[in-house]
């Protein structure tokens, strides 16, 4: 059976980016009302934070699915195909279903001048209800309080580590950002949170007190060790392993396990371990070849964690980097993390228009004391990496989700069929 072409519908959907980012819930509520309020019929887990949201969602989804739940998963952005954002039991939404949903909402979309993310969020909730999922995991897009996903009434909320990102929208201090993200805390609904800086925890506690909600702080994983095969750790005197690489992935997994224990106490340690063997979450210190990896880390704390883990896996190796970045990031903070960490840094952009121009980014980094060499394309950047990497060298492509398609094409990695 031929897969329907959705280019026209996706072009229409992507064109809604012209409406920008609208912080507020009114339009999403209106779209959902038009669709029959599917969100009110769902069992939902809401996930916010700065770094690790997607990985934490992936761990929770994998464990629940492995223990008999029919699970919806809504994340963003996608790596290759729009369909990745909306999944049931790991399988992405089909093209013909996307076409149907967009057509059914067309009148409402234009009547209320909806944004891309508002429409996508409403589509996901409708899809999960239509497919009768047992539970759906919903990742915030940006922030929390006024994020389109905050229309839901979840049975649990999860908060990954909060740090500086999207300052142009959420505020230029950690206090402002934490207050925005704490907006997902609902009346009398438990919050499972990663350990946070004291100032962030105080804000979360204040919001939880206001909402009469309880807070559980996930325990730190112990005896963390990792290599290119995954990450092992101990939690409550039991051994666990996640296929994802890095000490930060042990923290994400521990947060997910804490959430699972509160969601369904019948899921055993053995069942969790068995489920996690099947976890696949591309773009997170993903091995592309023997000596080149890809990570979507795109802000100060994410890049810091990725480089730290990389150095621990390959001590004494020279790191060669290929870097791209969106224009809404704090380059000063990122440059501090790049200082003296890389043997050589190549700078690229993409045809999408979503990233900083390579020449402009190169100039800005040079002005911040980060030597680099701009290249014309991701393809040229990968070629440059391959040319300089020798026996005791390693390559890292990082900075954004929006180059995944170009990367996977160059490394001939298939990404468009089956369970993602």
pLDDT for res 8? 82
CATH topology of domain 7-276: 3.40.1190
Comparing C-alpha atoms, which of 336, 335, 343 is closest to residue 314?
Answer: 343
User: Does 7-276 match 286-410 in CATH topology?
Assistant: no
Residues 294 and 411: their CA atoms lie apart, in Å, by 11
Mean pLDDT of 276-302: 94
What's the pLDDT at 53? 95
Give the CATH H-level superfamily of domain 286-410: Mur ligase, C-terminal domain (3.90.190.20)
Confidence bin at 415 (pLDDT 50/70/90) = low
Query: Is it the case that residue 418 has pLDDT exceeding 80?
Result: no
The pLDDT assigned to 417 comes to 45
Query: What residue spans define the domains of the chain?
Result: 7-276, 286-410
CB of 138 closer than 8 Å to CB of 74 = yes
Of the listed ranges 142-146, 332-336, 370-374, the least confidently predicted one is 142-146
How would residue 19 be classed by pLDDT, with cut points 50, 70 and 90? low
Lowest-confidence pick of 9-13, 320-324, 380-384: 9-13
Q: In the prediction, which pLDDT does 353 show? A: 80
Candidates 28, 53, 47; CA nearest to 115 is 28
Residue 22: per-residue pLDDT? 67
DSSP state, residue 172: S
Burial label for 209, CB within 10 Å (0-12, 13-18, 19+), is exposed
Q: How far apart are CA 92 and CA 98, in angstroms?
A: 10
Residue 67 has pLDDT above 90, yes or no: yes
39 vs 51, higher pLDDT: 39
- pLDDT (average), residues 182-207: 96
How confident is residue 194, by pLDDT bands cut at 50, 70 and 90? very high
Predicted confidence at residue 315, as pLDDT, reads: 94
Task: Give the model's pLDDT for residue 17.
Answer: 72
53 or 168, which is more confident?
Answer: 53
Query: Using 50, 70 and 90 to split pLDDT, how confident is the model at 10?
Result: confident
In this predicted structure, the answer to whether residue 119 has a pLDDT above a threshold of 70 is yes
Is residue 47 within 8 A of residue 158, CB to CB? The reply is yes
Q: What is the DSSP string of 135-162?
A: EEEEE-SS-STTSGGGG---SEEEEPPP
Report the range of poorest mean pLDDT among 164-178, 215-229, 383-397: 164-178
In percent, how much of the chain has pLDDT > 90?
Answer: 84
Rounded mean pLDDT of 282-293? Answer: 95
Q: What is the pLDDT of residue 420?
A: 47
Band of pLDDT at residue 327, cut at 50, 70 and 90: confident
pLDDT value at 180 more than 60 = yes
**Tell me: the pLDDT tens digits for 300-326?**
999 999 999 999 999 999 999 999 998
Peptide bond into 77 cis (omega under 30): yes
Q: What is the mean pLDDT of the chain?
A: 93
Range in 9-13, 94-98, 139-143, 373-377 with the lowest mean pLDDT: 9-13
Q: pLDDT tens digits, residue range 229-244?
A: 999 999 999 999 999 9
The answer to whether the CB of 231 falls within 8 A of the CB of 253 is yes
Q: What is the mean pLDDT of residues 84-102?
A: 96
Q: Which segments of 198-291 are extended strands (E)? A: 215-217, 222-227, 230-235, 238-242, 286-287
Within 94-232, where are the H helices?
95-112, 116-130, 167-170, 174-181, 198-210
What pLDDT does 62 receive?
98
Reported as a pLDDT band with limits 50, 70 and 90, residue 268 is very high
């Amino acid at each position: 059976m031929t897969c329907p072409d959705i280019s026209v519908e996706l072009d229409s959907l992507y064109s809604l980016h012209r409406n920008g980012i609208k912080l507020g819930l009114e339009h999403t509520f209106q779209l959902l009302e038009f669709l029959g309020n599917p969100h009110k019929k769902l069992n939902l887990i809401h996930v916010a934070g700065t770094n690790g949201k997607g990985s934490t969602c992936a761990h929770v989804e994998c464990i629940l699915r492995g223990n008999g739940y029919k699970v919806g998963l809504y994340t963003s952005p996608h790596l290759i195909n729009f369909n990745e954002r909306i999944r049931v039991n790991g399988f992405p939404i089909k093209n013909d279903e996307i076409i149907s949903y967009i057509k059914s909402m067309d009148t409402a979309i234009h009547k209320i001048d909806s944004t891309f993310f508002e429409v996508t969020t409403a589509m996901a909730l409708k899809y999960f209800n239509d497919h009768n999922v047992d539970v759906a995991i919903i990742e915030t897009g940006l922030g929390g309080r006024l994020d389109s996903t905050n229309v839901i009434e979840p049975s649990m909320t999860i908060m990954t580590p909060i740090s500086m990102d999207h300052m142009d929208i959420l505020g230029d201090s950690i206090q402002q950002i934490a207050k925005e993200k704490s907006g997902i805390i609902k009346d009398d609904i438990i919050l499972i949170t990663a350990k946070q800086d004291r100032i962030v925890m105080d804000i979360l506690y204040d919001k939880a007190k206001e909402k009469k909600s309880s807070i559980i702080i996930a325990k730190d994983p112990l005896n963390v060790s990792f290599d290119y095969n995954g990450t092992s750790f101990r939690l409550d005197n039991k051994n666990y392993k996640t296929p994802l690489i890095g000490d930060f992935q042990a923290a994400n997994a521990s947060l997910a396990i804490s959430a699972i224990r509160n969601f369904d106490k019948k899921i055993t340690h053995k069942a969790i371990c068995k489920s996690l063997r099947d976890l696949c979450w591309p773009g997170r210190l993903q091995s592309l070849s023997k000596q080149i990896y890809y990570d979507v880390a795109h802000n100060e704390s994410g890049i810091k964690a990725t480089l730290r883990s990389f150095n621990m896996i390959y001590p004494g190796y020279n790191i060669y980097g290929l870097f791209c970045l969106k224009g809404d990031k704090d380059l000063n903070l990122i440059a501090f993390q790049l200082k003296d960490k890389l043997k050589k840094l190549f700078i690229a952009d993409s045809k999408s228009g979503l990233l900083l121009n390579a020449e402009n980014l190169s100039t800005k980094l040079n002005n911040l004391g980060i030597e680099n060499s701009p290249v014309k394309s991701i393809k040229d950047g990968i070629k440059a990496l391959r040319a300089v990497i020798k026996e005791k060298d390693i390559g890292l492509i990082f900075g954004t989700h929006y180059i995944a398609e170009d990367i996977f094409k160059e490394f001939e990695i298939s990404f468009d069929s089956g369970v993602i």
